[in-house]
Amino acid sequence: MKSTYENPFNSRYASARMQELFSPDMKFRTWRRLWIALAEAEKELGLNITDKQIEELKRYRDDINYDVAEAKEKELRHDVMAHIHAYGEQCPSARGIIHLGATSCYVGDNTDIIIMSEALKLIRAKILTLVKKLSAFALEYKDMPALGFTHYQPAQLVTVGKRACLWIHDILMDLDDLDHVLGGMKLLGSKGTTGTQASFLNLFNGDHGKVKKLESLIAHKLGFKEVYPVSGQTYTRKLDSRVMNVLSGIAQSAYKFSNDLRLLQSMKEIEEPFEEKQVGSSAMAYKRNPMRAERISSLARYVIVDALNPAITASTQWFERTLDDSANRRISIPEGFLAVDAILNIYINICDGMVVYPCVIEKHIQDELPFMATENIMMEAVKRGGDRQIIHERIRAHSMEAAKKVKVEGKKNDLLERIASDPAFGMGIEELKSVLEPGNYIGRAPQQVEEFISEHVAPILKKSKFEEIAVELNV
C-alpha cells in the first residue's frame, strides 16, 4: 500500500491507453521525435547536418536515459535543457545540432498538440463504440411503449428505444464537434522565442522560403498537414479551451444519460448491470444502487468544471508568452482527457448490460394511461351522440376523483370504472379497456427510431470503419 497520494484516474478510472498517452515516457519520446524531425528538415534544407548524426539520434529515440535527465534537471532547473544534455550524452556526434534554432516550446507545445490529437482519436473510437451499442439497444426496444415524462411528471407515451435515441443524438453532436476540432488541429511548428522565427532566419542566412519550408517539412514528418500561421512563443491557448469544450460536451451528454438511468432504476424500469456478488450497500443488503451511472455523474461534473481552466488560461496570457499557464495545463488537460475516457468506459460498460423490465414499464403505463386516453374516450362518446362540453366536464370531474383515490387514499386508478358507470358516455368497461392499447399512444416513435438509425447513425458508423473497443472497468 502506497503512503503517498495516488491519482484515482490512474488507479481506478482511466484506461491504460489513455494513461500511456499522457505519461512522461510518451512526452519525452515525442520530444525526441521532434528533435529528429527538426534535424532532418534542417539537413534537407542545406544545413551542415550529416546522415550519421541523424542515424545516431534515431538509434536512441525510444531509449531514454532518464537517470541522466533527472540528474541534469536538478542541476539546471530546466526540463528541456536537461533532456537535451541527456540525449547528447547518448549521441555525442549529434550533440551540437540537437534543438538547433528551437525554443523549449518547439518540443513542449508541439508534443502537447500531438498527444491531444491522439487522445481525441481514442475518445472518438470510444464514442463510435458507444453509439453502435446504443443503436442496437434502440432498435431492439423501438416498439416497447413507456411513459414519457415532462417536468418528471407522466406525459404522453414514448418507447424505450426512442428515449435511447435522445442519448445517441446528444453524443453525435459531440462527435461532430470533436471531428471539427480534430480536423483543425495543426502543429505550432518552429516559431522561435516570440513567434518571429528570427533564429531560423539567421540559420538560413535570411532565406525566408527555407524558413517556411522548414515548418512544412516538420509538420509532414509528424503526420500533420499544416502549422498555425502565426503565434507567439506558444500556440494560442484558445486551442486548449476548444479541446476542453469538446470534452465538456461529451461529459454533459453522458451526465444526462446517467441521470435518466438513475431515475429509471429508481422506478425499476431499467437497471445498469449488477454483478452476482456485487454489494449495493454496506448496511442495506437488498439495495441495487446505480453506482456506475452515479460515477458518470460525478466524473462528468468534474470535467464540466475543469473546462473553465483553459478558458481562464487562454484569456489571461500576456503578449507572446507567460508561464502562468504551465502548472495549470499539466493538470487540467490530462485530467480532462482521463476523466472523459473513464466516463466513456463506464457508459459503454452499462450499455453492454442494461436490463429492461417490461412488466414494470407496462404497470406504470396502465397506472397513467386512463388519464391520457380521456381525449380518445371523449371523441368516442361524442360519436355516440354525447355533448362534447358535457362529456369534457364529466371527464374532468371523474379524473379529479380518480386522482384523489391514487394520491390521497393510495388506491388504484379507478377512472375507467367511473366512466363506465356514467350513462353520459354510453360505454362499458370492456369497450373502454380496448381504448387503452399502449401502442395507440406512441405516435411515430418506432418509425423515428428506424429512420434516425438508418439515415443518421448508420452512415457515420459505416464511414468511420472503426474497430469496436472493448472496455474493462478497473473496479
**Mean pLDDT, residues 357-379 taken together:** 89
Angle (nearest 5°) at CA 170 between 168 and 175: 90
Q: Answer whether CATH 1.10.40.30 is correct for domain 374-435.
A: yes
Cβ neighbors of 44 (< 8 A, separation 6 or more) are: 217
Which residue in 11, 93, 266, 281 is the catalytic one? 281
Considering only residues 385 and 177, tell me which one the structure prediction assigns the higher pLDDT: 177
pLDDT, the chain, mean: 93
Model pTM score: 0.92
pLDDT exceeds 50 at position 193: yes
In this predicted structure, what is the pLDDT of residue 51?
Answer: 97
Cβ neighbors of 187 (< 8 A, separation 6 or more) are: 110, 113, 114, 215, 218, 219, 222, 224, 226, 227, 228
Bridge partners for 187 per DSSP: 227
In this predicted structure, what is the pLDDT of residue 275?
Answer: 64
Confirm whether 266 is a catalytic residue.
Answer: no
In the block, residue with C-alpha cell 463510435: 128
**Mean pLDDT, residues 46-71 taken together:** 97
Where residue 372 falls among pLDDT bands split at 50, 70, 90?
A: confident
Confirm whether 216 is a catalytic residue.
Answer: no
Q: What is the percent of the chain where pLDDT is above 90?
A: 78
Sequence ranges of the domains in the chain: 374-435
For the ranges 28-32, 153-157, 218-222, which has the lowest average pLDDT? Answer: 153-157
For the ranges 121-130, 293-302, 373-382, 442-451, which has the lowest average pLDDT? Answer: 373-382
**Mean pLDDT, residues 236-252 taken together:** 98
Where residue 428 falls among pLDDT bands split at 50, 70, 90?
A: confident
Q: Tell me which H or E stretch contains 47.
A: none
pLDDT exceeds 60 at position 425: yes
Cell of 274: 449488477
Q: Tell me which H or E stretch contains 153.
A: strand 153-159
Nearest to 262 by CA among 271, 254, 250, 253: 271
pLDDT exceeds 60 at position 285: no
pLDDT exceeds 90 at position 376: no
In this predicted structure, what is the pLDDT of residue 413?
Answer: 85
Give the phi and the psi of residue 331 in degrees, each rounded to 5: -100, -55
Amino acid at 218: I
**Mean pLDDT, residues 67-93 taken together:** 97
**Mean pLDDT, residues 117-139 taken together:** 97
pLDDT, tens digit (0-9, with 9 covering 90-100), for 335-362: 999 999 999 999 999 999 999 999 999 9
pLDDT exceeds 90 at position 278: no
Distance CA 6, CA 15 (A): 16
pLDDT exceeds 70 at position 256: yes
pLDDT exceeds 60 at position 474: no
Cell of 381: 362518446
Q: What's the count of helices (H) and strands (E) in the chain, helices before strands? A: 21, 4
Considering only residues 466 and 304, tell me which one the structure prediction assigns the higher pLDDT: 304
What is the DSSP pairing of strand 153-159 with strand 270-271?
Answer: unpaired
Contact between 289 and 370 (Cβ < 8 Å): no
